[in-house]
Structure 1
Amino acid sequence: MPMAFDGVTLHAIVKELKKEIEGGRIEKIYQPEKEDLIFTIRSKGKNYKLLLSANANYPRIHLTKEDRENPLEPPMFCMLLRKHLQNGRIAEIRQVEFDRIVEIDIETKDELQNQAIKTLVVEIMGRHSNVILIDKASQTILDSIKRVYPDMSKVREVLPGKKYTYPPLQQKLSLKDLTYESFKEALLRQKTKKIEKALVEILQGFSTTLSSEVSFQCSISDSFVETLGEEKIEQIYQKVRDIYEKVYNLEVKPCVVFLEDKVADFSCIELTQYKKRLLFDTVNEAADKFFFEKIKSANFQMKSSDLKKIVQNILEKLYVKLNKLQEELAEADKAEIYKLYGELLTVNLHSIKKGLEKFRTINYYTGEEIEIPLDKRLSPSQNVQMYYKKYNKLKNAFNTIKKQISETLEEINYLEGQLINIENSTTLEELEEIKNELIEEGYIHKHQKKKVASHSLSQPLHIVSSERF
């Protein structure tokens, strides 16, 4: 997935947040998922919901309109945030340069009712993303949504009582102080790289999404830096400066773009390289739409894959069962030969002596000679009884096995049809209908616990109290 939450887009989001919720009061704090937080904020006569996520696949910060269910028992970090931040006032929201780090200063009171400022640090850095609460005066970490122990990172620890330090920041050109000379010099040092990669390497806050848009607008997509002349380099520089000025002044055109009717990316600027794009009034609205659709799609794919795996596992067992039944049917089909052996032995009973391992006689149905195996431990009459017992057993088994094969084939046809239905499903509701039908048919236990690999997008079952805690 493209890193939609680049520093430039985050800069626009922070500017909007400052405008909307800076000075607002935190009324409620929830933690609906392991790595997601939602703050209910009252600001300028309006209610807002601020989403903070340290999800490895979808780390982000933006206002949201999505309703989320909350667990009956709030997690420890959520309770800590409520203790320190609930009813606090958002004093300042700022971004660390153009990096993907946001700091939110919150004025609150300590245990002695003295004025205090706590800082909530949101680090948007893929699997290293985090939400950290620190005491601003001492820069001491109170806790974090993800604790980082010494055996997890050699760079820095994120633990209660430790001093907060920034993660290693990349040495890139700041958009704020960018000059043509510094830009050109840094760009030409990347001469063997394509322009899209080069811009990401040298500019703070730039992503592949923005770089691709710049190269598209300059008509140099996939061009190597070393092929660019002075005129093109100046054109690229002007495009970069134009993006900065528009974001700085919040003269943006936020959009979500689509490929094959699926959300592909979003940005604070209009991505003209995509044919299908949806414009929004604010970057926060675009972010909310993008991540809602992206996560819904990912959840759909995950649930579809899980359901498909369950059906495929059942089918594999049925295929093995069918193969075994067909082998048993082939054996049961020998019933008539055992009946013939019994009849021929009965007719020739007076000619058979005990201790023989085989007996030759004429098959009166065909007129041909036939050899009948005997158990030398048994008497002639016991051998007759043995073959009639085998005949009766296999005759009964034959009908039973044929019925089992028919039933197994019906199950296989049904489940193969359900696999096709899963493949053709386009919504979570359709998948849920298939799952419920499989539960009713007894293929899935209603409260079946499945071993599922750790997945950042999982949606665990929540119990919600009357107060939605």
Structure 2
Amino acid sequence: MSLDGIVTRALVHELQACAGARIAKIYQPTENEIVLHLRGQNANGRLLLSAHPSMPRLHWTQQAWENPSEPPMFCMLLRKHCEGGVIESVRQDGLERIVWIDVRHRDELGDFSVKRLVLEIMGRHSNLILMDPATGQIHDGIRHVTPAVSSYRVVLPGTAYVAPPSQDKRDPLRETEPAFRDRVSLAFSESGSLDTKAASSALVNAYTGLSPLAAKEIAHRAGGEPHKLWSAFRAVMDDVAAHRYEPNLVDTAGGKTLFSALALTHADGTVRAFGTMNECLETYYKDKADRDLVRQRTADLSRLLGNEISKNEKKLVKLEETLRESEEADKLRRTGELLTSQLHLLQRGDESAEITDYYEEGQPLVTVALDPMLTPTENAQRYFRKYNKLKNSKSAVEEQMAAAREEIAYLESVLQGLETAGPADIEEIREELAGQGYIRHHGEKRGAKKKKKDTPSVLCYTSSEGVPIYVGKNNVQNDYLTNRLGSPSDTWLHTKDIPGSHVLIRGEPYGDATLREAAALAAYYSKARASSNVPVDYTKIRNVRKPSGAKPGFVIYEGQKTLYVTPDEALVQSLFVSVK
């Protein structure tokens, strides 16, 4: 992971300002995250401690975390031992991804004691542990580790704290040149040149705190020359030892975003520099954390929508079979008429009969199946009854097929809304699905009056020409944007025949740049986000209307023109955005 020992060292160095600050509040917004509200000593703010399996980290956060109404047990324990306490120190275990936060707190008897929060940033093995540093005993961990999970150590209340297993790596800040050359000798090829890939791997395997990204940067700075590898390594370690960092994000051409405390000279992409490592991580993880939170809180909705779409698709298959059968109706009517005209050739007990088909050229003989239990007249009437049944069912089947297709389109639009939703949008989507009868309102009592809905919040971008562009991220917002917010002369955009957001350009005039940027936003906030040359329709709002009784987000429009654009995340991020 990019959050290696060097990044951790940079973070811990910046967090020295926490020493002396008081822990005013402690929250546990998710099962993996703890937020400490700190006051005093120029360290006012929220400090995030995360033991998330795929996003473990610590940094100052501006994010407004939504807290559960009932705090988890681990949160209650932290409040008992740490809330109101003063942070004595924030330290790193060597260059390991382990951070110790010592908190001095007054216990129930009024005596001061010190408790230690240990954040272990170890990927899927990450943990946050509260322990007594004097006795080495664990009070509890945010994640329990039992003997069945690990034979090396146990993380349970009352057990002795054991640090994660050492990988027998050296501290790079204390390395000597002879030992360095001995450890990375495998990186040199027989020709004497430097194998950058092998050098990166050798550095990662030899030294603690080095991620593959940092190791690749050191190898790159050597320029392929073996004798320069030590000097590149030493220069980086001297900067780290002196706390000379260059926090930055690199948006690569391949769509990945990298972060580092070192300047990434080997990475090809757009660089964003930051004043602190905390700001860098807050920016990097904000969208990722939001998406993870949305996935956690909408997993049930995603399953529901997937099941409903699958159910309607199966229904369509059956209806199509019925429709094919109904298209045989005219043939059944014709068979009934032929039997009626040739009743003299039939008698009860016949299982089939050969009759002349007067409707075909040459009047060939055709074999017709009969019910031996019926009279000739009853057999003819049976074909007429089948004809009438299929004729009547055809129009009903076509209506049902149209309804099923509309429902699939609607469900896909809600699913698309979930994919682009932020934490604040979840409740709107739940309310929408409850209003459509797919789920029940949370805690709704029979006969209770519904709460008056607040005005939905929509995204407002500003184009490069200074023109406001509004984006609805779900059907509730789409309805508000198109039917209430927009004026007749505003320009409305939507991906052509693809589930996505309604987009609105407010007012006139505007240039081609604004139109293309609005189209790019429509493509980005659609199911075709990962596609190229996405068709986007645009027309005036006066040409857009919502049919009576239509589902949320559904409109019909006319007079449209079509633009083809490729979604560009960098362009979207470059446009100023706010919430209206």
- TM-score, normalised with respect to structure 2: 0.66
Post-superposition shift, 1:271? 1.8
Equivalent in 148, 151, 160 of residue 151 of structure 1: 148
1:140 correspondence with 2:137: yes
CA distance in 2, matches of 1:430, 1:83: 31
Secondary structure of 1:81's match? Answer: helix
* Range moving further from structure 2, 392-401 or 338-347: 338-347
Gaps of 5+ in 1: 221-227, 449-469
User: Residue in 2 aligned with 1:126?
Assistant: 123
1:271 correspondence with 2:264: yes
- Closer, same or farther: CA 114–322 of 1 in aligned 2, 3 Å: closer
CA distance in 2, matches of 1:338, 1:8: 81
Equivalent in 176, 191, 198 of residue 202 of structure 2: 198
Gaps of 5+ in 2: 190-196, 443-580
1:209 correspondence with 2:202: no
* Range moving further from structure 2, 154-163 or 178-187: 178-187
One-letter code aligned to 1:376 = P
Contact persistence 1:304–1:422 (CA under 8 A): no
User: Residue in 1 aligned with 2:478?
Assistant: none
Secondary structure of 2:157's match? Answer: coil
CA distance in 1, matches of 2:327, 2:34: 67
User: Residue in 2 aligned with 1:9?
Assistant: 7
Equivalent in 226, 238, 249 of residue 245 of structure 1: 238
1:376 correspondence with 2:385: no
Post-superposition shift, 1:196? 0.9
User: Residue in 2 aligned with 1:465?
Assistant: none
CA distance in 2, matches of 1:68, 1:89: 23
Secondary structure of 2:246's match? Answer: coil
- Closer, same or farther: CA 434–112 of 1 in aligned 2, 3 Å: closer
Give matches, 1:225-304, under 5 Å.
229=226, 231-232=227-228, 236-260=229-253, 264-274=257-267, 275-296=269-290
CA distance in 1, matches of 2:346, 2:149: 84
Post-superposition shift, 1:75? 0.6
Post-superposition shift, 1:435? 5.8
Post-superposition shift, 1:171? 1.8
Secondary structure of 2:175's match? Answer: coil
User: Residue in 2 aligned with 1:391?
Assistant: 387
Contact persistence 1:255–1:277 (CA under 8 A): yes
CA distance in 1, matches of 2:72, 2:137: 21
Contact persistence 1:354–1:379 (CA under 8 A): yes
One-letter code aligned to 1:289 = T
Post-superposition shift, 1:402? 3.6
Deviations 1:277-308 (A, max 9, x none): 11111112212222214434666899999988
Secondary structure of 1:37's match? Answer: strand
Q: CA RMSD in A?
A: 3.5
Equivalent in 142, 162, 182 of residue 165 of structure 1: 162
One-letter code aligned to 1:94 = R
Contact persistence 2:173–2:241 (CA under 8 A): no
User: Residue in 2 aligned with 1:326?
Assistant: 320
- Closer, same or farther: CA 132–302 of 1 in aligned 2, 3 Å: closer
- Closer, same or farther: CA 216–437 of 1 in aligned 2, 3 Å: farther
Contact persistence 1:26–1:88 (CA under 8 A): yes
Instruction: Indicate the percent of aligned positions where both proteins have the same amino acid.
Output: 35
CA distance in 2, matches of 1:391, 1:305: 47
CA distance in 1, matches of 2:107, 2:209: 36
User: Residue in 1 aligned with 2:41?
Assistant: 44
One-letter code aligned to 2:214 = L
Instruction: Tell me which of the two structures has the higher relative contact order, counting C-alpha pairs closer than 8 angstroms and 6 or more residues apart.
Output: 1
Specify the structure having the higher radius of gyration (Cα).
Answer: 1
Post-superposition shift, 1:8? 1.5
Secondary structure of 1:376's match? Answer: coil
Contact persistence 2:186–2:198 (CA under 8 A): no
Contact persistence 2:217–2:265 (CA under 8 A): yes
* Range moving further from structure 2, 427-436 or 268-277: 427-436
CA distance in 2, matches of 1:34, 1:304: 16
- Closer, same or farther: CA 197–324 of 1 in aligned 2, 3 Å: same
User: Residue in 1 aligned with 2:397?
Assistant: 401
- TM-score, normalised with respect to structure 1: 0.80
Post-superposition shift, 1:141? 0.6
One-letter code aligned to 2:218 = V
- Closer, same or farther: CA 347–285 of 1 in aligned 2, 3 Å: closer
**Number of equivalent positions:** 432
Secondary structure of 1:74's match? Answer: coil
* Range moving further from structure 2, 127-136 or 390-399: 390-399
Secondary structure of 1:33's match? Answer: coil
Contact persistence 2:204–2:215 (CA under 8 A): yes
Secondary structure of 1:32's match? Answer: coil
1:102 correspondence with 2:99: yes
Contact persistence 2:323–2:394 (CA under 8 A): yes
CA distance in 1, matches of 2:130, 2:298: 37
Contact persistence 2:332–2:386 (CA under 8 A): yes
CA distance in 2, matches of 1:208, 1:314: 44
Secondary structure of 1:44's match? Answer: coil
